[in-house]
Amino acid sequence: MSAATKFEDPRVNSRIVAAYRARTAGSGALAAEAAELLPSGIAHDSRYLEPWGIYVERAKGSHKWDVDGNRYVDYFGGHGALILGHGHPQVAAAIAEAAEQGAQFGANHPREIAWVRAIQRLVPSAERVRFTSSGTEATLMAVRLARAFSGRSTLLRFQGHFHGWHDHMTAGYSNHFDGSPTPGVLRGITDKTVLVAPGDTDAVAAALATNPDIAAIILEPTGSSFGQVPLRPSFLHALRDLTTRHGVLLIFDEVITGFRTSRGGAQAAFGIRPDLSTFAKILAGGMPGGAVAGRPEILALLDFKATAAAGREKIGHPGTFNANPVSAAAGIAALGILAESDANDVASARAESLRAGMNEVLMRENLPWAVYGTTSGFHLFLNPQGRAITPASFDPHAVDFAEMKAQPAQLTNRLRLAMLVNGVDLNPRLGGFTSAAHSELDIADTVHAFGESLRMLRAEGELA
Ligand SMILES: Cc1ncc(COP(=O)(O)O)c(C=O)c1O
């Protein structure tokens, strides 16, 4: 019997699964209907959960409520988009006003200029900006720009780093670490990708020295999955030096780190100016939207007159919802709040309290796991190889990426369900994002829920 079938089986001997099923019967009914309509009944792989994921009806601030009326402290955070929490009053008002004025003009509109200015106020390297509808589209355009600008074809990426789901980015994220193509992707594309172990400066140097066809390096600057496998800032500086020396473009994928690692993203936090940056999530204040930004001479490849003057063919870029006015309004509001308030610092402070509180629970329970992370993120290391670690002083740099990413399936599932039963929604990796809307009371409730969840796991023999 496969793991998935086992979780679905109502006879499965788990009180946690039974409690979850009982609490979320309305979600279960919707999931049964959705299973007939959507592959796996879902719209995003991260929302897959056995026996089913919760169906959410509404959300406000740090909380969301499912169709059965259960309230959750939310750390999914809109996949990282909601550093101000759900339905921030100023962002919600901006969305309502823009929607009232018209959601799609098929024309330029003043908000796209204000949106660029709001980005530039925080991210000086964004000298030119092209809007897209998602982070995936932003990284796709960044790669295309890099190839067209450099006349080279190959992209250097890091194992485990996520840049969306287009054809260049699928191998080596969660599997296919040898760079072989995932289903439906052409080998011709993956042949033009070099995958390197994250943090391995020597391997990058060797690749650049031996392969003159490398157009660009793209990475998640704090490490994969917002630092679940963290990178040292010194690695970023080494990449900047190496790429400059070899005439290779450095692309910071700031889809998560943008406006979160600091108000100016990872590039401001670590003092590095990438050639191109990609943004989404916080950029659009919780609405759909993305952008690629950077050096004018690179973005000029999207410019009608500049390419004509240079005798070059322009890169085509339509996109019905590029710079959508409602997304623009939400983005302008959110970025303005981040620029003018301490929201970014508050979100980080809450995550720091949460990491400390959860680690205290682990110490009390004598469990050799660890909660770690930086700024407004947290990750749970389940220590699959039984290392001797102390939760509060765990060094995630000491463990390689395969071990950091390894998560025992059943334990992960039961802990996630137990946290939901106790009113907390984590992401599938058992981590999450904090927002400025999380209160210290939310953090205390979450720490309590973590202790209760571990007690439930112990009661059914999941913890040694
Ligand atoms: C670092 C990174 N890049 C790109 C993407 C893709 O963005 P989107 O989901 O908007 O396509 C994500 C999404 O989680 C991401 O985390």
Contact 376, 350 (CB under 8 A): yes
Q: How far is the CA of 289 from the centre of ligand 1 (A)?
A: 11
Contact 438, 62 (CB under 8 A): yes
State yes or no: pLDDT of 379 exceeds 80: yes
* Residue 7 in this model has a pLDDT that exceeds 70: no
Candidates 407, 363, 420; CA nearest to 381 is 407
Best residue among 170, 251, 256, 260 to mutate for probing ligand 1's pocket (most ligand atoms within 8 Å of CB) is 256
Local structure of 329: helix, strand or coil? helix
Which atom of ligand 1 sits closest to the CA of residue 80?
14
Q: Which residues line ligand 1 (CB under 6 A)?
A: 79, 134-136, 139, 162-164, 220, 253, 255-256, 280, 290
User: Which residue of 143, 259, 281, 327 sits with most ligand 1 atoms within 8 Å of its CB, as the best mutation to test the pocket?
Assistant: 281
Average pLDDT taken over every residue of the chain:
96
DSSP 56-78: EEEEEBTEEEETT--EEEE-SHH
Q: Give the mean model confidence (pLDDT) for residues 160-188.
A: 96
User: Would you state the pLDDT for residue 65?
Assistant: 98
Assessment of whether the complete model's pTM goes beyond 0.85: yes
The alpha carbon of 366 and the centre of ligand 1 are apart by a number of angstroms equal to 36
pLDDT at 10 over 50: yes
Please give the pLDDT value at position 9. 60
What percentage of residues in the chain have a pLDDT greater than 70? 97
What is residue 386's predicted lDDT score, i.e. its pLDDT? 92
What pLDDT, on the 0 to 100 scale, is given for residue 406?
86
- Confidence bin at 267 (pLDDT 50/70/90): very high
* DSSP codes, 94-158: HHHHHHHH-S--SS--HHHHHHHHHHHHH-TT-SEEEEESSHHHHHHHHHHHHHHHHS--EEEEE
Residue nearest to atom 3 of ligand 1 (CA): 163
Kindly tell me if the per-residue pLDDT of 113 is higher than 70: yes
Ligand 1 atom closest to 288 (CA):
10
What's the average model confidence in pLDDT over 430-448? 98
Which residue has a Cα nearest atom 13 of ligand 1? 164
Residue whose CB lies within 8 A of the most ligand 1 atoms, among 162, 279, 429, for a mutation test: 162
% residues pLDDT > 90 (the chain)? 95
Class (C level, CATH) for 89-340: alpha beta
How many beta carbons lie within 10 A of that of residue 224, not counting itself?
22
CATH of the domain spanning 3-85+343-459, picked from 1.10.3470.10, 2.40.50.100, 3.30.470.10, 3.90.1150.10 = 3.90.1150.10
136 CA from centroid of ligand 1 (Å) = 6
Q: Is residue 51 reached through a cis peptide bond, with omega within 30 degrees of 0 on the bond before it?
A: yes
- Residue 185 burial class via C-beta count within 10 angstroms: exposed 0-12, middle 13-18, buried 19 and up: middle
Tell me: pLDDT of 3 over 50: no
For 30, 53, 272, 335, 336, the CA distances from 122, given in Å and listed in that order, are 42, 36, 14, 8, 9
Distance 163 CA to ligand 1 centre (A): 5
- Examine the pLDDT at 73 and tell me if it is beyond 70: yes
Query: In this model, does residue 190 exceed pLDDT 70?
Result: yes
pLDDT mean over 50-77: 98
pLDDT (mean) for 45-52: 96
pLDDT digits (tens, 9 = 90+) for 17-40: 999 999 999 999 999 999 999 999
* Residues 133 and 139 sit within 8 Å (Cβ to Cβ): no
Q: Report yes or no: 282 and 259 within 8 Å, Cβ to Cβ.
A: yes
Separation of CA 211 and ligand 1 centre (Å): 28
How many whole angstroms separate alpha carbon 252 and alpha carbon 63? 31
User: Per the structure block, which two tokens stand in for 288?
Assistant: 């759909």
Confidence at residue 1, expressed as pLDDT on a 0 to 100 scale? 38
Say yes or no to pLDDT of 355 above 80.
yes
- Residue ranges covered by each domain of the chain: 3-85+343-459, 89-340
- In the reported structure, the alpha carbon of residue 225 is separated from the centroid of ligand 1 by a whole-number distance in angstroms of 10
Task: Give the span between the Cα atoms of 33 and 306, in whole angstroms.
Answer: 53
Q: Which mutation among 132, 255, 283 tests ligand 1's pocket best, with the greatest number of atoms within 8 A of CB? A: 255
Across 367-395, average pLDDT: 95
Indicate which residue's Cα is closest to atom 7 of ligand 1: 135
Nearest ligand 1 atom to alpha carbon 254:
1
